[in-house]
Structures are given as C-alpha cells and as structure tokens.
Structure 1
Amino acid sequence: MRLPSTQPAFPVAPRHGTRFHAVLLLAASLLMPVLAGASADTFALAPDTQIVGAVSTVTASHEQTLTDIARIQGLGYEEIVWANPGVDVWLPGDGTSVTLPKRFILPGTQRDGVVVNIAEYRLYYYFRSNGRQMVSTFPISIGRMDWSTPIGRWRVVAKQKDPTWYPPESIRKEHLEDGRGFLDKVVPPGPDNPLGKFAMRLSVPGYLIHGTNRPVGVGMQVTHGCIRMYPEDIASLFPEVPVNTPVTIMNLPYKFGWSGDDLYLEVNPPLEDDHPTRDREMTALMEQYVQATRDRPARVDWQAVEEAYRRKDGIPVRIGSGVATEQSTAAN
C-alpha cells in the first residue's frame, strides 16, 4: 500500500457547538493552505501490538493556526484542541509549543478493513504489505448530533471518482433555513461539491466515506452522518480500498491497551449526543477495563485513571502493569 510515514509500532513514554464550528469553517477555509501528500501514519504490526505511534511537540510559527498544524501533522481539529488546552486555536502565537497527540491505542479487536472510532474522530485501515500486517490511520469528521454516523458492521459497496451529489430534501431545506441560499437538487463535480473528488459508498444506505471542499472542518462533529476526510487522505486511501471491504464503525471514548508489561488508558471526550454523565462514563470505562484485563490481570493506579478521565485529552497514559510481572520482579 502506498501510504507515507511507514514506521514500526513503538512506545513513547472541551467540545464546541456545531453552529460555532460552522462560522469558523467558513472563515478559516479561506485561509487554509493547500498541502500536498497524505497525512496518514502507517505502522507495521506484530500480532500483539495494541499501541502505535508517539507523542511529540512542534513549535508554532508566526500566524500559523492549530488547524494548519493539525493538517500538516495528520491530525484533526478536536484531537489537537484536546491535547493543547489553553492554546488559542486560531492564534497560538509564534514560538508556542504544540503537543502532537499521535500515539494511538488501536480500538476494539477488529483488525481487517476499515475501522472507524467516532469518539476519537479517527479511521484505521488494516491491510497486508509484503506479508506483514499494517495499519494506516487518518483523522476524520463525523455526523453531528442530529445526523449521527451509524454504528455497526458495514462494507464498501461502490466507489466513485469525481462524484455527483444529490442532496436529500432535508438537507436542501436546512441549507435554506440556515441562510445559505438555495441548494440545487444535483451538485456536479467541482469546487462547490462537498463530497470532494472521491467517495466510497457504504452498505448502510445514504452514507459515504468521502473527501471535502472544506478541509478545515476535518476532525469535527459537523457532517450529515458521512465520514469526511482531508482531500489528500481520501486520494491516498481511495485506490487501496476495494469494493466489499468491511467497514466497522464503533464509539469507544475509552480505550485500554498493553505495551509490553504496561497497561495504558486513552480517554477521549464522549460525544454530546451520548448524553454523558459521570456514572455512564465510568460504567463504559470499566467495561473496557474488564475486557482489556480478562486474560491478563493488572495492578492499576486508580489515581492515574482518575487523572486521565479528568483530562480527556486523547493521549494514552500508563495506568498500571501486569500482576505476574510485578510478582516476578519482587521474587528476584
């Protein structure tokens, strides 16, 4: 598969309203630079790999926004905002250190085809290259509260280059009510087509994985349910994903994963339409913990768990270690 930044998997030690986002998208899309090349991170996987990538930092330059940095670094809007609390999105400032949250706990146990975790605004594509299991991961946008992205096990049923968009009546009505003018029943390929240059239709009717003509919105909960990618990312992924590829869409804000003898937790803010409460969140978190430690007991620092839950920054943190390993060490 021809995707950039191939590297081994190795360890290294608040959400805004959609109306607000829409205003920012319109203004920022006029300023967003055109970038060449896909922003995917690609990793070779061992059978027991559960965590890939690394957290790093870059220094913002004059007039560079967090969205500029996010696109260059293969991140989406929410990801980079979560990881940089207190940093102004649109004017971070020359010389500001910006955290790049590019370490990921692989979601769930599904390791074939396309896997989408809407809670982290991220798509994973599993494939084989020269006999090795690989994964590439991309930032995405997902459906907003009233147009949710469908959870389930689907497949790619059709692919189209330079797609024509046929907006349903509900979207055309919304477009008019929002003061954006009359929307034609047929939108041909071109710069005004929100599907971008590539689209992959899913087996769930009416839903696509597609590009965009407004890339600054990638990484937000702003679509009508479709999965939206940076133009350069969909251009890279499109030729590699055959028809009938499985597409698994899940919603996992809490992910546990092992790296060697250490257990890590990644906490992403739950989606607003999940109506999160602390009790619900803790129940969901503990369900994932039980799955992660069912076959491998762990000694857990619950204060570290509480801190990760409080921060909700999407960055995996070490919260424990294998019990057997600690006992063996003590015996020595």
Structure 2
Amino acid sequence: MTLSRRQLIITGAAAALVVPATARATDIRRNVSSFAMQDWRDHFSQLGKASIVCDTESRALHFWSGDGSDYRIYPTSVPKTDELTKRGYTEIVRKKVGPSWTPTASQMERFPDWKPVAGGAPDNPLGTHALYFDWPAYLIHGTHDTRKIGRRSSDGCIGLYNEKIAELFELVPIGAQVRLI
C-alpha cells in the first residue's frame, strides 16, 4: 500500500492529536507541570500547624496550611545523590531572613577552598530566606542560582527560587511538620 503525500500528512496530524491525549489520560495524578500530586493524608495523621512534603523524586515541595484551605506546590532543587538525601519526618524549628552560610565539615573535606558567606551576600548559597529542620545542617532555603531549581544540585538541602522561599517563609509557622520522601 502506498500513501500519497497528502494522506501521509493527514495521518501524521491525526496521530499527533491522539498521542498526547492518550499520554495525558494514562497518568491522572500529575498536574500540568509534571509534579506528582500529593495528599497530606498519605504522609501525616493530621495537618497540625502546617505540613510540608519535600518530594525528591518529582523535585517539588508541597505545602498545606494548618486548616487545609491553602495547598501550594513549589519547584525545588534536591540533593545531588541519594547518599546526601536524608529522608523521614522532621519539623521547622527556626526561620531566618538573610541567613549566613558556613560549609559543613564534610563539605570542607570535599571543597577545602569554600569559605563562610555572610547573610544577605549576593553569592550566599542559602539565598534570601531559610527554614531550619530539627536535623542539623538540613534546611529549606532560597538560591540566587536559578539554574539549580528542578535539578539534583544540592549537598542535602531543599532549594527554592528566592521569591518562592520568601512566599513560603511567610506561610510556614515554627513547628510545621515536614516529611522528606
């Protein structure tokens, strides 16, 4: 069977319309940005003061307000390797605008030329705001390097665009529960 040029174009156009619709129908738990949707009930028994799930697979942070009326998803950077990724339950114990940064001991072993950076400095790897966990040296923070968002690029922390961490900072109370998956 031979197809004319016109038949080939029509067949190709029809296939182009059917394939995306079929692909969308196969995964209804994904939104337009490809982040896996989350339900807080899959992670916590109650919302508490507020709840955060950091999904290192889809590289997204999910936030729910304490009364459940506000649900937001933020794109994130995640740890470079599984060895740097801490998973489990924690909580927000401190918040800081203009955080200063000091390399950890393991970072100094790998990168001996790294030096501490003052809060508010344009090259500060913690960006403009930070939310600290009750795990030492792990936090949610901003970044000035927007190329990192959506990638495996951190040494263990969860990074957000500076404007998004500023927004989240205002929403999250001390004591908010957090789960890293």
TM (norm. structure 2) is: 0.73
Unaligned runs of 5+ in 1: 1-11, 14-49, 56-99, 177-181, 251-332
CA–CA distance in 1 between the matches of 2:124 and 2:56? Answer: 24
Question: CA, structure 1 residues 175+146, in 2 after alignment: closer, same or farther (shift >3 Å)?
Answer: farther
The Cα of 1:148 is off from its aligned counterpart by: 2.1
Match runs of 1:109-148 below 5 Å:
109-110=42-43, 112=47, 113-127=51-65, 133-145=69-81, 147-148=83-84
User: How many pairs does the alignment contain?
Assistant: 149
The Cα of 1:51 is off from its aligned counterpart by: 4.5
Per-residue deviation, residues 269-308 of structure 1 (Å, max 9, x unmatched): xxxxxxxxxxxxxxxxxxxxxxxxxxxxxxxxxxxxxxxx
Q: Is 1:153 aligned to 2:89, yes or no?
A: yes
CA–CA distance in 1 between the matches of 2:82 and 2:101? Answer: 20
Which one of 142, 156, 162 corresponds to residue 211 of structure 1? 142
The AA in structure 2 aligned to 1:170 is S
Paired residues of 1:147 and 1:224 also in contact (CA < 8 A): no
Tell me the residue number matched to 2:16.
Answer: none
Paired residues of 1:149 and 1:227 also in contact (CA < 8 A): no
Tell me the residue number matched to 1:187.
Answer: 117
The Cα of 1:172 is off from its aligned counterpart by: 2.5
Paired residues of 1:147 and 1:223 also in contact (CA < 8 A): no
Tell me the residue number matched to 1:170.
Answer: 106
Paired residues of 1:52 and 1:106 also in contact (CA < 8 A): no
Match runs of 1:217-296 below 5 Å:
217-250=148-181
- 2:70 alignment partner, SS class: strand
- 1:133 alignment partner, SS class: coil
Paired residues of 1:156 and 1:202 also in contact (CA < 8 A): yes
Per-residue deviation, residues 74-112 of structure 1 (Å, max 9, x unmatched): xxxxxxxxxxxxxxxxxxxxxxxxxx536x432571363
CA–CA distance in 1 between the matches of 2:100 and 2:68? Answer: 37
Per-residue deviation, residues 180-207 of structure 1 (Å, max 9, x unmatched): xx222x3102111100010111011210
Unaligned runs of 5+ in 2: 1-23
- 1:229 alignment partner, SS class: strand
CA–CA distance in 2 between the matches of 1:192 and 1:163? Answer: 12
Match runs of 1:99-114 below 5 Å:
100-101=33-34, 104-106=36-38, 109-110=42-43, 112=47, 113-114=51-52
TM (norm. structure 1) is: 0.41
Per-residue deviation, residues 202-258 of structure 1 (Å, max 9, x unmatched): 0112101000121111111111111111111101101110111000111xxxxxxxx
Paired residues of 2:130 and 2:140 also in contact (CA < 8 A): yes
Question: CA, structure 1 residues 133+110, in 2 after alignment: closer, same or farther (shift >3 Å)?
Answer: farther
The Cα of 1:146 is off from its aligned counterpart by: 6.2
The AA in structure 2 aligned to 1:126 is W
- 1:170 alignment partner, SS class: helix
Question: CA, structure 1 residues 174+249, in 2 after alignment: closer, same or farther (shift >3 Å)?
Answer: same
CA–CA distance in 2 between the matches of 1:147 and 1:188? Answer: 28
Q: Which has the higher contact order (CA 8 A, sep 6+)?
A: 2
Paired residues of 1:142 and 1:148 also in contact (CA < 8 A): no
CA–CA distance in 2 between the matches of 1:101 and 1:132? Answer: 23
